[in-house]
Structure 1
Protein backbone atom coordinates (compact mmCIF):
# COMPACT_ATOMS: atom_id res chain seq x y z
CA UNK A 1 0.00 0.00 0.00
CA UNK A 2 1.41 3.38 -1.05
CA UNK A 3 1.69 6.31 1.33
CA UNK A 4 -1.10 8.10 -0.51
CA UNK A 5 -3.38 5.05 -0.11
CA UNK A 6 -2.59 4.94 3.62
CA UNK A 7 -3.49 8.63 3.94
CA UNK A 8 -6.78 8.11 2.07
CA UNK A 9 -7.68 5.13 4.25
CA UNK A 10 -6.84 7.09 7.37
CA UNK A 11 -9.00 10.02 6.23
CA UNK A 12 -11.93 7.69 5.56
CA UNK A 13 -11.55 6.16 9.02
CA UNK A 14 -11.45 9.56 10.69
CA UNK A 15 -14.51 10.66 8.70
CA UNK A 16 -16.53 7.68 9.89
CA UNK A 17 -15.43 8.12 13.50
CA UNK A 18 -16.40 11.79 13.46
CA UNK A 19 -19.78 11.27 11.80
CA UNK A 20 -20.81 7.88 13.08
CA UNK A 21 -18.92 7.38 16.34
CA UNK A 22 -16.84 4.39 17.41
CA UNK A 23 -17.79 0.88 16.31
CA UNK A 24 -20.58 -0.93 18.17
CA UNK A 25 -18.04 -3.17 19.89
CA UNK A 26 -16.57 -0.19 21.74
CA UNK A 27 -15.76 -0.88 25.38
CA UNK A 28 -17.72 0.66 28.21
CA UNK A 29 -15.86 3.18 30.35
CA UNK A 30 -16.27 4.55 33.87
CA UNK A 31 -15.49 8.03 32.53
CA UNK A 32 -17.86 7.96 29.57
CA UNK A 33 -19.81 11.08 30.65
CA UNK A 34 -16.93 13.02 32.21
CA UNK A 35 -16.93 15.53 29.34
CA UNK A 36 -20.39 15.19 27.77
CA UNK A 37 -22.33 15.33 31.06
CA UNK A 38 -20.02 15.82 34.06
CA UNK A 39 -22.92 16.04 36.53
CA UNK A 40 -24.58 12.82 35.34
CA UNK A 41 -23.47 10.58 38.19
CA UNK A 42 -24.16 13.11 40.95
CA UNK A 43 -27.60 13.80 39.47
CA UNK A 44 -28.50 10.11 39.50
CA UNK A 45 -27.13 9.61 43.00
CA UNK A 46 -29.09 12.53 44.40
CA UNK A 47 -32.38 11.23 42.98
CA UNK A 48 -31.71 7.67 44.19
CA UNK A 49 -30.82 8.84 47.69
CA UNK A 50 -34.01 10.88 47.83
CA UNK A 51 -36.17 7.99 46.64
CA UNK A 52 -34.60 5.49 49.05
CA UNK A 53 -34.93 7.95 51.95
CA UNK A 54 -38.66 8.13 51.24
CA UNK A 55 -39.01 4.35 50.93
CA UNK A 56 -36.13 1.99 51.68
CA UNK A 57 -37.71 -0.76 49.54
CA UNK A 58 -37.13 1.41 46.46
CA UNK A 59 -33.42 0.58 46.67
CA UNK A 60 -34.15 -3.10 46.10
CA UNK A 61 -36.62 -2.23 43.34
CA UNK A 62 -34.07 -0.17 41.41
CA UNK A 63 -31.42 -2.89 41.80
CA UNK A 64 -33.90 -5.44 40.49
CA UNK A 65 -34.77 -3.30 37.47
CA UNK A 66 -31.15 -3.43 36.32
CA UNK A 67 -31.01 -7.21 36.87
CA UNK A 68 -34.26 -7.86 34.97
CA UNK A 69 -33.12 -5.54 32.18
CA UNK A 70 -29.73 -7.17 31.67
CA UNK A 71 -31.02 -10.75 31.68
CA UNK A 72 -33.27 -10.01 28.69
CA UNK A 73 -31.26 -9.33 25.54
CA UNK A 74 -28.58 -7.47 27.50
CA UNK A 75 -28.42 -4.20 29.45
CA UNK A 76 -30.33 -2.06 26.98
CA UNK A 77 -33.14 -0.39 28.93
CA UNK A 78 -35.73 -2.58 27.22
CA UNK A 79 -37.60 -3.27 30.49
CA UNK A 80 -38.55 0.41 30.69
CA UNK A 81 -40.57 0.47 27.45
CA UNK A 82 -44.33 0.78 27.90
CA UNK A 83 -46.75 -1.25 25.81
CA UNK A 84 -48.35 0.55 22.88
CA UNK A 85 -51.12 -0.34 20.45
CA UNK A 86 -48.51 -1.91 18.18
CA UNK A 87 -45.98 -3.14 20.70
CA UNK A 88 -45.90 -5.42 23.74
CA UNK A 89 -42.93 -4.86 26.02
CA UNK A 90 -41.51 -6.74 29.00
CA UNK A 91 -43.45 -5.17 31.85
CA UNK A 92 -46.30 -7.70 31.67
CA UNK A 93 -43.99 -10.75 31.54
CA UNK A 94 -44.59 -13.17 34.41
CA UNK A 95 -41.41 -12.23 36.36
CA UNK A 96 -42.24 -8.52 36.02
CA UNK A 97 -46.02 -8.15 36.10
CA UNK A 98 -47.28 -6.54 39.33
CA UNK A 99 -43.74 -6.94 40.62
CA UNK A 100 -41.09 -4.68 39.06
CA UNK A 101 -41.36 -1.08 40.18
CA UNK A 102 -39.36 2.13 40.37
CA UNK A 103 -40.28 3.40 36.91
CA UNK A 104 -41.34 6.78 38.30
CA UNK A 105 -37.93 7.21 39.92
CA UNK A 106 -36.24 6.44 36.60
CA UNK A 107 -38.54 8.98 34.91
CA UNK A 108 -37.47 11.61 37.45
CA UNK A 109 -33.79 10.85 36.93
CA UNK A 110 -34.16 10.97 33.16
CA UNK A 111 -36.04 14.28 33.32
CA UNK A 112 -33.33 15.78 35.52
CA UNK A 113 -30.60 14.62 33.14
CA UNK A 114 -32.43 15.84 30.05
CA UNK A 115 -32.59 19.31 31.60
CA UNK A 116 -28.80 19.51 31.96
CA UNK A 117 -27.54 17.20 29.18
CA UNK A 118 -30.31 16.57 26.64
CA UNK A 119 -29.94 13.41 24.60
CA UNK A 120 -26.72 12.30 26.27
CA UNK A 121 -27.31 9.81 29.11
CA UNK A 122 -29.00 6.54 28.21
CA UNK A 123 -31.78 4.90 30.18
CA UNK A 124 -29.73 1.70 30.30
CA UNK A 125 -26.88 3.57 32.01
CA UNK A 126 -29.32 5.18 34.43
CA UNK A 127 -30.39 1.67 35.54
CA UNK A 128 -26.77 0.56 35.99
CA UNK A 129 -25.82 3.59 38.10
CA UNK A 130 -29.08 3.61 40.09
CA UNK A 131 -28.51 -0.04 41.03
CA UNK A 132 -25.08 0.76 42.45
CA UNK A 133 -26.27 3.90 44.23
CA UNK A 134 -29.18 1.97 45.77
CA UNK A 135 -26.83 -0.60 47.26
CA UNK A 136 -24.63 2.15 48.70
CA UNK A 137 -27.65 4.04 50.07
CA UNK A 138 -28.67 0.93 52.02
CA UNK A 139 -25.25 0.31 53.54
CA UNK A 140 -23.44 -1.70 50.89
CA UNK A 141 -20.09 -0.88 49.35
CA UNK A 142 -19.55 0.79 46.01
CA UNK A 143 -18.07 -0.35 42.70
CA UNK A 144 -17.06 1.42 39.51
CA UNK A 145 -19.96 1.36 37.05
CA UNK A 146 -18.84 1.13 33.43
CA UNK A 147 -20.86 3.39 31.14
CA UNK A 148 -21.61 4.01 27.48
CA UNK A 149 -24.63 1.77 26.90
CA UNK A 150 -27.29 2.87 24.47
CA UNK A 151 -31.01 2.11 24.55
CA UNK A 152 -32.84 -0.53 22.58
CA UNK A 153 -35.69 0.32 20.25
CA UNK A 154 -37.46 -2.94 21.00
CA UNK A 155 -38.15 -5.39 23.84
CA UNK A 156 -39.03 -9.06 24.17
CA UNK A 157 -41.94 -10.37 26.21
CA UNK A 158 -41.01 -13.96 25.40
CA UNK A 159 -37.36 -13.51 26.42
CA UNK A 160 -38.43 -11.88 29.68
CA UNK A 161 -40.65 -14.88 30.38
CA UNK A 162 -37.90 -17.40 29.64
CA UNK A 163 -34.58 -15.77 30.62
CA UNK A 164 -35.18 -14.33 34.09
CA UNK A 165 -34.39 -17.02 36.69
CA UNK A 166 -37.47 -18.35 38.48
CA UNK A 167 -37.73 -18.30 42.30
CA UNK A 168 -38.81 -21.94 42.06
CA UNK A 169 -35.57 -23.22 40.48
CA UNK A 170 -33.40 -25.88 42.08
CA UNK A 171 -29.65 -25.30 42.37
CA UNK A 172 -28.88 -27.01 39.06
CA UNK A 173 -31.47 -24.83 37.32
CA UNK A 174 -30.01 -21.67 38.86
CA UNK A 175 -26.52 -22.61 37.76
CA UNK A 176 -27.78 -23.27 34.23
CA UNK A 177 -29.73 -20.00 34.05
CA UNK A 178 -26.69 -17.98 35.08
CA UNK A 179 -24.24 -20.04 33.01
CA UNK A 180 -26.37 -19.31 29.96
CA UNK A 181 -25.64 -15.62 30.56
CA UNK A 182 -21.91 -16.18 31.02
CA UNK A 183 -21.76 -16.18 34.82
CA UNK A 184 -19.79 -18.57 36.99
CA UNK A 185 -21.49 -20.37 39.85
CA UNK A 186 -19.53 -18.15 42.23
CA UNK A 187 -20.95 -15.03 40.57
CA UNK A 188 -24.44 -16.51 40.78
CA UNK A 189 -24.14 -17.00 44.54
CA UNK A 190 -22.76 -13.47 44.96
CA UNK A 191 -25.55 -11.90 42.90
CA UNK A 192 -28.15 -13.85 44.89
CA UNK A 193 -27.02 -11.77 47.84
CA UNK A 194 -29.08 -8.92 46.38
CA UNK A 195 -31.87 -10.64 48.30
CA UNK A 196 -30.44 -9.16 51.46
CA UNK A 197 -32.85 -6.29 50.65
CA UNK A 198 -36.33 -6.21 49.18
CA UNK A 199 -39.54 -8.16 49.57
CA UNK A 200 -41.36 -10.96 47.81
CA UNK A 201 -45.04 -11.69 47.28
CA UNK A 202 -46.79 -14.54 49.07
CA UNK A 203 -47.48 -16.32 45.80
CA UNK A 204 -43.72 -16.78 45.33
CA UNK A 205 -43.01 -18.46 48.69
CA UNK A 206 -46.32 -20.09 49.66
CA UNK A 207 -45.32 -23.54 48.42
CA UNK A 208 -42.05 -23.32 50.36
CA UNK A 209 -43.55 -22.50 53.75
CA UNK A 210 -46.34 -25.09 53.51
CA UNK A 211 -44.59 -27.95 51.71
CA UNK A 212 -40.83 -27.87 52.24
CA UNK A 213 -38.92 -29.37 55.15
CA UNK A 214 -35.63 -27.49 54.87
CA UNK A 215 -37.11 -24.42 56.53
CA UNK A 216 -36.90 -23.23 60.14
CA UNK A 217 -40.18 -24.21 61.79
CA UNK A 218 -40.70 -20.99 63.72
CA UNK A 219 -39.82 -18.97 60.63
CA UNK A 220 -42.35 -20.87 58.52
CA UNK A 221 -45.02 -20.39 61.15
CA UNK A 222 -44.45 -16.64 61.27
CA UNK A 223 -44.72 -16.44 57.49
CA UNK A 224 -48.02 -18.33 57.40
CA UNK A 225 -49.68 -15.46 59.26
CA UNK A 226 -48.81 -13.20 56.30
CA UNK A 227 -49.30 -15.81 53.61
CA UNK A 228 -52.37 -18.03 54.09
CA UNK A 229 -52.71 -21.28 52.17
CA UNK A 230 -55.14 -19.50 49.86
CA UNK A 231 -55.63 -15.81 49.20
CA UNK A 232 -53.31 -12.95 50.04
CA UNK A 233 -51.17 -13.58 46.97
CA UNK A 234 -49.74 -10.07 46.97
CA UNK A 235 -48.95 -9.89 50.69
CA UNK A 236 -45.27 -9.06 51.14
CA UNK A 237 -42.52 -10.50 53.34
CA UNK A 238 -38.87 -9.42 53.46
CA UNK A 239 -36.35 -11.61 51.63
CA UNK A 240 -33.96 -11.07 54.56
CA UNK A 241 -35.80 -11.55 57.83
CA UNK A 242 -32.85 -10.28 59.91
CA UNK A 243 -32.06 -6.84 58.44
CA UNK A 244 -34.47 -6.32 55.52
CA UNK A 245 -33.50 -2.72 54.71
CA UNK A 246 -29.73 -3.01 55.13
CA UNK A 247 -27.41 -4.29 52.42
CA UNK A 248 -25.28 -6.75 54.39
CA UNK A 249 -24.38 -10.45 54.46
CA UNK A 250 -27.23 -11.52 56.77
CA UNK A 251 -28.95 -13.18 53.79
CA UNK A 252 -26.30 -15.89 53.86
CA UNK A 253 -26.53 -16.38 57.61
CA UNK A 254 -30.27 -16.82 57.16
CA UNK A 255 -29.65 -19.59 54.61
CA UNK A 256 -27.42 -21.44 57.08
CA UNK A 257 -30.30 -21.21 59.56
CA UNK A 258 -32.82 -22.47 56.96
CA UNK A 259 -34.46 -19.07 56.77
CA UNK A 260 -34.30 -18.49 53.05
CA UNK A 261 -37.64 -17.05 51.93
CA UNK A 262 -37.70 -18.38 48.37
CA UNK A 263 -37.11 -21.94 47.28
CA UNK A 264 -34.29 -20.72 45.03
CA UNK A 265 -32.66 -18.90 47.96
CA UNK A 266 -32.44 -21.96 50.20
CA UNK A 267 -31.10 -24.02 47.32
CA UNK A 268 -27.75 -22.26 47.79
CA UNK A 269 -27.26 -23.98 51.16
CA UNK A 270 -28.10 -27.60 51.93
CA UNK A 271 -26.55 -28.30 55.31
CA UNK A 272 -22.84 -28.07 54.61
CA UNK A 273 -22.29 -30.57 51.84
CA UNK A 274 -23.69 -28.75 48.82
CA UNK A 275 -21.50 -27.36 46.04
CA UNK A 276 -22.22 -23.75 47.03
CA UNK A 277 -22.39 -24.24 50.82
CA UNK A 278 -18.79 -23.21 51.50
CA UNK A 279 -19.28 -19.94 49.63
CA UNK A 280 -22.43 -19.20 51.62
CA UNK A 281 -20.50 -19.83 54.84
CA UNK A 282 -17.68 -17.57 53.67
CA UNK A 283 -20.00 -14.67 52.92
CA UNK A 284 -21.87 -15.19 56.19
CA UNK A 285 -18.69 -14.75 58.20
CA UNK A 286 -16.98 -12.16 56.01
CA UNK A 287 -19.15 -9.39 54.58
CA UNK A 288 -16.13 -7.68 52.99
CA UNK A 289 -15.58 -10.70 50.76
CA UNK A 290 -19.24 -10.67 49.79
CA UNK A 291 -19.18 -6.94 48.99
CA UNK A 292 -16.11 -7.35 46.77
CA UNK A 293 -17.49 -10.35 44.91
CA UNK A 294 -20.91 -8.74 44.55
CA UNK A 295 -19.45 -5.57 43.03
CA UNK A 296 -17.34 -7.55 40.57
CA UNK A 297 -20.34 -9.68 39.58
CA UNK A 298 -22.43 -6.55 39.04
CA UNK A 299 -19.77 -5.22 36.68
CA UNK A 300 -19.94 -8.51 34.79
CA UNK A 301 -23.72 -8.27 34.62
CA UNK A 302 -23.53 -4.69 33.37
CA UNK A 303 -21.41 -5.95 30.48
CA UNK A 304 -24.12 -8.27 29.17
CA UNK A 305 -24.52 -7.42 25.47
CA UNK A 306 -24.66 -3.63 25.76
CA UNK A 307 -25.56 -1.54 22.74
CA UNK A 308 -22.72 0.88 22.00
CA UNK A 309 -21.44 3.12 19.23
CA UNK A 310 -24.23 3.72 16.72
CA UNK A 311 -26.44 0.81 17.84
CA UNK A 312 -29.76 1.66 19.44
CA UNK A 313 -30.46 5.23 20.51
CA UNK A 314 -30.48 7.54 23.52
CA UNK A 315 -34.15 7.67 24.46
CA UNK A 316 -35.50 11.06 25.48
CA UNK A 317 -38.27 9.32 27.41
CA UNK A 318 -37.29 5.98 28.90
CA UNK A 319 -40.82 4.64 28.42
CA UNK A 320 -40.92 4.99 24.64
CA UNK A 321 -38.75 4.91 21.56
CA UNK A 322 -37.76 8.25 20.04
CA UNK A 323 -40.01 9.20 17.13
CA UNK A 324 -38.56 10.01 13.75
Structure 2
Protein backbone atom coordinates (compact mmCIF):
# COMPACT_ATOMS: atom_id res chain seq x y z
CA UNK A 1 0.00 0.00 0.00
CA UNK A 2 1.26 3.46 -0.88
CA UNK A 3 1.40 6.14 1.77
CA UNK A 4 -0.39 9.43 1.20
CA UNK A 5 2.92 11.20 0.68
CA UNK A 6 3.92 8.70 -2.00
CA UNK A 7 0.49 9.01 -3.63
CA UNK A 8 0.80 12.79 -3.80
CA UNK A 9 4.21 12.54 -5.46
CA UNK A 10 2.92 9.88 -7.85
CA UNK A 11 -0.13 12.02 -8.68
CA UNK A 12 2.08 15.02 -9.44
CA UNK A 13 4.29 12.88 -11.68
CA UNK A 14 1.25 11.42 -13.44
CA UNK A 15 -0.25 14.85 -14.11
CA UNK A 16 3.09 16.07 -15.43
CA UNK A 17 3.26 13.04 -17.69
CA UNK A 18 -0.30 13.60 -18.90
CA UNK A 19 0.56 17.23 -19.69
CA UNK A 20 3.60 16.15 -21.70
CA UNK A 21 1.75 13.37 -23.53
CA UNK A 22 -1.15 15.71 -24.40
CA UNK A 23 1.28 18.14 -26.06
CA UNK A 24 3.05 15.36 -27.95
CA UNK A 25 -0.22 13.86 -29.17
CA UNK A 26 -1.51 17.32 -30.11
CA UNK A 27 1.55 17.93 -32.29
CA UNK A 28 1.40 14.50 -33.88
CA UNK A 29 -2.33 14.94 -34.46
CA UNK A 30 -1.79 18.20 -36.34
CA UNK A 31 0.84 16.55 -38.52
CA UNK A 32 -1.45 13.56 -39.10
CA UNK A 33 -4.36 15.80 -40.12
CA UNK A 34 -2.14 17.81 -42.45
CA UNK A 35 -0.88 14.65 -44.15
CA UNK A 36 -4.46 13.47 -44.69
CA UNK A 37 -5.17 16.81 -46.37
CA UNK A 38 -1.94 16.54 -48.40
CA UNK A 39 -0.38 19.52 -46.63
CA UNK A 40 3.03 19.86 -45.03
CA UNK A 41 1.55 21.18 -41.80
CA UNK A 42 3.37 22.35 -38.66
CA UNK A 43 6.14 20.30 -37.03
CA UNK A 44 5.12 17.94 -34.20
CA UNK A 45 6.87 20.26 -31.74
CA UNK A 46 4.60 23.20 -32.61
CA UNK A 47 2.35 22.89 -29.49
CA UNK A 48 5.43 23.38 -27.28
CA UNK A 49 6.32 26.57 -29.16
CA UNK A 50 2.73 27.78 -28.92
CA UNK A 51 2.68 27.14 -25.17
CA UNK A 52 5.84 29.19 -24.61
CA UNK A 53 4.64 31.98 -26.91
CA UNK A 54 1.21 32.28 -25.29
CA UNK A 55 2.63 32.08 -21.78
CA UNK A 56 4.74 35.14 -22.49
CA UNK A 57 1.75 37.19 -23.65
CA UNK A 58 -0.57 39.11 -21.39
CA UNK A 59 -4.21 38.06 -21.24
CA UNK A 60 -6.54 40.84 -22.40
CA UNK A 61 -9.60 40.65 -20.16
CA UNK A 62 -12.97 41.63 -21.64
CA UNK A 63 -14.42 44.99 -20.63
CA UNK A 64 -17.84 43.41 -20.58
CA UNK A 65 -18.79 39.95 -19.41
CA UNK A 66 -17.26 38.13 -16.44
CA UNK A 67 -13.43 38.19 -16.46
CA UNK A 68 -13.17 35.82 -13.49
CA UNK A 69 -15.25 33.27 -15.38
CA UNK A 70 -13.30 33.99 -18.55
CA UNK A 71 -10.08 32.80 -16.87
CA UNK A 72 -11.37 30.57 -14.08
CA UNK A 73 -13.55 28.20 -16.09
CA UNK A 74 -10.72 26.83 -18.30
CA UNK A 75 -8.63 26.23 -15.17
CA UNK A 76 -11.51 24.23 -13.65
CA UNK A 77 -11.88 22.29 -16.89
CA UNK A 78 -8.16 21.48 -16.99
CA UNK A 79 -8.16 20.38 -13.34
CA UNK A 80 -11.24 18.19 -13.89
CA UNK A 81 -9.68 16.47 -16.90
CA UNK A 82 -6.37 15.90 -15.10
CA UNK A 83 -8.16 14.41 -12.09
CA UNK A 84 -9.56 11.68 -14.35
CA UNK A 85 -6.08 10.17 -14.76
CA UNK A 86 -5.91 9.46 -11.03
CA UNK A 87 -8.74 6.94 -11.49
CA UNK A 88 -7.50 5.30 -14.69
CA UNK A 89 -5.58 2.01 -14.71
CA UNK A 90 -2.70 2.64 -17.11
CA UNK A 91 -1.48 -0.59 -18.60
CA UNK A 92 -0.71 -3.00 -15.77
CA UNK A 93 -0.44 -0.15 -13.25
CA UNK A 94 -3.45 0.19 -10.94
CA UNK A 95 -5.06 3.62 -10.48
CA UNK A 96 -3.79 5.86 -7.72
CA UNK A 97 -7.35 6.38 -6.50
CA UNK A 98 -10.08 3.80 -6.78
CA UNK A 99 -13.49 2.90 -5.43
CA UNK A 100 -16.77 1.32 -6.33
CA UNK A 101 -18.08 4.24 -8.38
CA UNK A 102 -15.04 5.36 -10.36
CA UNK A 103 -16.82 5.23 -13.71
CA UNK A 104 -19.61 7.56 -12.56
CA UNK A 105 -17.07 10.04 -11.20
CA UNK A 106 -15.05 9.93 -14.41
CA UNK A 107 -18.14 10.60 -16.54
CA UNK A 108 -19.06 13.49 -14.24
CA UNK A 109 -15.57 14.97 -14.56
CA UNK A 110 -15.69 14.67 -18.35
CA UNK A 111 -19.01 16.51 -18.47
CA UNK A 112 -17.77 19.10 -15.96
CA UNK A 113 -14.70 19.78 -18.12
CA UNK A 114 -16.99 20.17 -21.14
CA UNK A 115 -19.29 22.51 -19.27
CA UNK A 116 -16.29 24.60 -18.19
CA UNK A 117 -15.62 25.31 -21.87
CA UNK A 118 -19.13 26.70 -22.24
CA UNK A 119 -18.72 28.82 -19.11
CA UNK A 120 -15.41 30.20 -20.40
CA UNK A 121 -17.00 31.22 -23.69
CA UNK A 122 -19.97 32.81 -21.93
CA UNK A 123 -17.64 34.79 -19.66
CA UNK A 124 -16.18 36.71 -22.60
CA UNK A 125 -17.65 39.63 -24.48
CA UNK A 126 -17.39 38.46 -28.07
CA UNK A 127 -20.47 39.11 -30.21
CA UNK A 128 -20.14 35.54 -31.47
CA UNK A 129 -20.14 33.98 -28.03
CA UNK A 130 -23.89 33.33 -28.08
CA UNK A 131 -23.55 31.15 -31.18
CA UNK A 132 -20.62 29.15 -29.76
CA UNK A 133 -22.21 28.74 -26.32
CA UNK A 134 -25.53 27.67 -27.79
CA UNK A 135 -23.95 25.11 -30.11
CA UNK A 136 -21.78 23.60 -27.37
CA UNK A 137 -24.67 23.39 -24.89
CA UNK A 138 -26.91 21.81 -27.51
CA UNK A 139 -24.26 19.18 -28.27
CA UNK A 140 -23.68 18.42 -24.58
CA UNK A 141 -27.39 17.92 -23.94
CA UNK A 142 -27.73 15.77 -27.05
CA UNK A 143 -24.75 13.61 -25.99
CA UNK A 144 -26.12 12.97 -22.50
CA UNK A 145 -28.57 10.22 -23.50
CA UNK A 146 -26.24 8.10 -25.70
CA UNK A 147 -23.42 8.48 -23.14
CA UNK A 148 -25.72 7.32 -20.34
CA UNK A 149 -26.88 4.36 -22.46
CA UNK A 150 -23.30 3.30 -23.23
CA UNK A 151 -22.18 3.46 -19.60
CA UNK A 152 -25.33 1.79 -18.24
CA UNK A 153 -25.12 -0.98 -20.84
CA UNK A 154 -21.48 -1.76 -20.06
CA UNK A 155 -22.09 -1.75 -16.30
CA UNK A 156 -25.17 -3.98 -16.58
CA UNK A 157 -23.38 -6.42 -18.89
CA UNK A 158 -20.32 -6.58 -16.60
CA UNK A 159 -22.57 -7.27 -13.62
CA UNK A 160 -24.66 -9.96 -15.34
CA UNK A 161 -21.61 -11.71 -16.79
CA UNK A 162 -19.94 -11.82 -13.39
CA UNK A 163 -16.82 -9.79 -14.10
CA UNK A 164 -14.75 -9.73 -10.89
CA UNK A 165 -14.89 -6.39 -9.10
CA UNK A 166 -17.39 -3.60 -8.67
CA UNK A 167 -19.38 -3.02 -11.90
CA UNK A 168 -18.86 0.77 -11.69
CA UNK A 169 -15.09 0.45 -11.24
CA UNK A 170 -12.75 1.05 -14.17
CA UNK A 171 -10.41 -1.60 -12.75
CA UNK A 172 -13.14 -4.18 -13.45
CA UNK A 173 -13.07 -3.41 -17.17
CA UNK A 174 -9.27 -3.22 -17.28
CA UNK A 175 -8.72 -6.50 -15.41
CA UNK A 176 -10.94 -8.56 -17.71
CA UNK A 177 -12.22 -7.37 -21.05
CA UNK A 178 -15.95 -7.45 -21.61
CA UNK A 179 -15.19 -8.83 -25.08
CA UNK A 180 -13.88 -12.03 -23.49
CA UNK A 181 -17.23 -12.86 -21.85
CA UNK A 182 -19.45 -12.03 -24.84
CA UNK A 183 -20.69 -14.35 -27.56
CA UNK A 184 -21.45 -13.12 -31.08
CA UNK A 185 -24.61 -11.08 -30.25
CA UNK A 186 -22.79 -9.44 -27.35
CA UNK A 187 -19.76 -8.63 -29.45
CA UNK A 188 -21.91 -6.95 -32.06
CA UNK A 189 -23.60 -5.02 -29.26
CA UNK A 190 -20.24 -4.01 -27.75
CA UNK A 191 -19.06 -2.90 -31.19
CA UNK A 192 -22.17 -0.73 -31.52
CA UNK A 193 -21.55 0.81 -28.09
CA UNK A 194 -17.91 1.39 -29.00
CA UNK A 195 -18.91 3.21 -32.17
CA UNK A 196 -21.31 5.40 -30.20
CA UNK A 197 -18.62 6.28 -27.65
CA UNK A 198 -16.17 6.99 -30.46
CA UNK A 199 -18.66 9.34 -32.10
CA UNK A 200 -19.04 11.17 -28.77
CA UNK A 201 -15.29 11.79 -28.43
CA UNK A 202 -15.18 14.99 -30.56
CA UNK A 203 -17.71 16.59 -28.20
CA UNK A 204 -16.26 15.19 -24.97
CA UNK A 205 -12.74 16.09 -26.11
CA UNK A 206 -13.70 19.63 -27.07
CA UNK A 207 -12.52 19.45 -30.67
CA UNK A 208 -15.85 20.77 -31.99
CA UNK A 209 -15.38 24.28 -30.60
CA UNK A 210 -12.56 26.78 -30.85
CA UNK A 211 -12.20 30.07 -29.00
CA UNK A 212 -12.23 33.37 -30.88
CA UNK A 213 -8.60 34.38 -31.06
CA UNK A 214 -7.30 37.87 -31.53
CA UNK A 215 -6.06 40.96 -29.78
CA UNK A 216 -9.31 42.78 -29.09
CA UNK A 217 -11.00 43.09 -25.75
CA UNK A 218 -13.64 40.51 -26.58
CA UNK A 219 -11.25 37.80 -27.79
CA UNK A 220 -9.24 35.01 -26.22
CA UNK A 221 -5.58 35.93 -26.33
CA UNK A 222 -2.35 35.39 -24.44
CA UNK A 223 -2.62 33.35 -21.27
CA UNK A 224 -6.42 33.18 -21.55
CA UNK A 225 -6.06 31.34 -24.86
CA UNK A 226 -3.33 29.20 -23.30
CA UNK A 227 -5.65 28.07 -20.50
CA UNK A 228 -8.41 27.33 -22.99
CA UNK A 229 -6.17 25.26 -25.27
CA UNK A 230 -4.51 23.37 -22.41
CA UNK A 231 -7.94 22.45 -21.01
CA UNK A 232 -9.00 21.19 -24.45
CA UNK A 233 -5.86 19.07 -24.80
CA UNK A 234 -6.39 17.52 -21.36
CA UNK A 235 -10.03 16.77 -22.21
CA UNK A 236 -8.98 15.10 -25.45
CA UNK A 237 -6.40 12.87 -23.78
CA UNK A 238 -8.70 12.00 -20.86
CA UNK A 239 -11.70 11.12 -23.05
CA UNK A 240 -9.59 8.91 -25.33
CA UNK A 241 -7.99 7.22 -22.30
CA UNK A 242 -11.41 6.37 -20.87
CA UNK A 243 -12.39 4.88 -24.23
CA UNK A 244 -9.30 2.65 -24.15
CA UNK A 245 -10.01 1.50 -20.58
CA UNK A 246 -13.58 0.54 -21.43
CA UNK A 247 -13.31 -0.91 -24.92
CA UNK A 248 -9.63 -1.67 -25.61
CA UNK A 249 -8.13 -3.13 -22.45
CA UNK A 250 -5.57 -5.87 -22.57
CA UNK A 251 -1.99 -6.63 -21.67
CA UNK A 252 0.59 -6.97 -24.42
CA UNK A 253 3.13 -7.96 -21.79
CA UNK A 254 1.10 -11.00 -20.76
CA UNK A 255 0.70 -12.06 -24.38
CA UNK A 256 4.49 -11.85 -24.77
CA UNK A 257 4.87 -13.66 -21.41
CA UNK A 258 6.89 -10.85 -19.87
CA UNK A 259 7.39 -10.42 -16.16
CA UNK A 260 8.21 -7.83 -13.50
CA UNK A 261 9.41 -4.41 -14.67
CA UNK A 262 9.44 -5.31 -18.36
CA UNK A 263 5.75 -6.22 -18.17
CA UNK A 264 4.82 -2.86 -16.63
CA UNK A 265 6.91 -0.87 -19.12
CA UNK A 266 5.55 -2.67 -22.19
CA UNK A 267 1.93 -2.39 -21.03
CA UNK A 268 2.46 1.28 -20.11
CA UNK A 269 3.71 2.11 -23.61
CA UNK A 270 1.03 -0.10 -25.18
CA UNK A 271 -1.68 1.81 -23.31
CA UNK A 272 -0.53 5.18 -24.64
CA UNK A 273 -0.18 3.75 -28.14
CA UNK A 274 -3.85 2.72 -28.01
CA UNK A 275 -4.81 6.15 -26.70
CA UNK A 276 -2.98 7.79 -29.60
CA UNK A 277 -4.75 5.52 -32.08
CA UNK A 278 -8.15 6.41 -30.60
CA UNK A 279 -7.29 10.12 -30.59
CA UNK A 280 -6.28 10.07 -34.25
CA UNK A 281 -9.49 8.22 -35.09
CA UNK A 282 -11.54 10.81 -33.17
CA UNK A 283 -9.78 13.66 -35.00
CA UNK A 284 -10.45 12.06 -38.36
CA UNK A 285 -14.09 11.50 -37.39
CA UNK A 286 -14.48 15.14 -36.35
CA UNK A 287 -12.87 16.51 -39.51
CA UNK A 288 -14.66 14.18 -41.92
CA UNK A 289 -18.05 13.88 -40.25
CA UNK A 290 -19.08 15.83 -37.14
CA UNK A 291 -17.35 19.06 -38.14
CA UNK A 292 -19.46 19.25 -41.31
CA UNK A 293 -22.72 19.29 -39.35
CA UNK A 294 -24.53 22.40 -38.30
CA UNK A 295 -25.35 22.62 -34.60
CA UNK A 296 -28.91 21.35 -35.00
CA UNK A 297 -27.84 18.55 -37.35
CA UNK A 298 -25.15 17.32 -34.95
CA UNK A 299 -27.59 17.47 -32.05
CA UNK A 300 -30.16 15.46 -34.03
CA UNK A 301 -27.51 12.88 -34.90
CA UNK A 302 -26.50 12.35 -31.28
CA UNK A 303 -29.98 12.44 -29.79
CA UNK A 304 -31.53 10.14 -32.42
CA UNK A 305 -29.01 8.10 -34.40
CA UNK A 306 -26.38 7.64 -31.69
CA UNK A 307 -28.99 6.95 -29.01
CA UNK A 308 -30.73 4.46 -31.29
CA UNK A 309 -27.47 2.63 -31.98
CA UNK A 310 -26.66 2.54 -28.26
CA UNK A 311 -30.12 1.13 -27.53
CA UNK A 312 -29.59 -1.51 -30.22
CA UNK A 313 -26.29 -2.41 -28.55
CA UNK A 314 -28.05 -2.79 -25.20
CA UNK A 315 -30.68 -5.06 -26.73
CA UNK A 316 -27.97 -7.26 -28.25
CA UNK A 317 -26.22 -7.48 -24.88
CA UNK A 318 -29.55 -8.50 -23.34
CA UNK A 319 -29.95 -11.33 -25.85
CA UNK A 320 -26.36 -12.41 -25.18
CA UNK A 321 -27.07 -12.69 -21.44
CA UNK A 322 -30.32 -14.57 -22.04
CA UNK A 323 -28.79 -17.11 -24.46
TM-score band (shorter)? under 0.3
TM-score (norm 1): 0.23
Larger helix proportion, structure 1 or 2? 2
TM-score (norm 2): 0.23
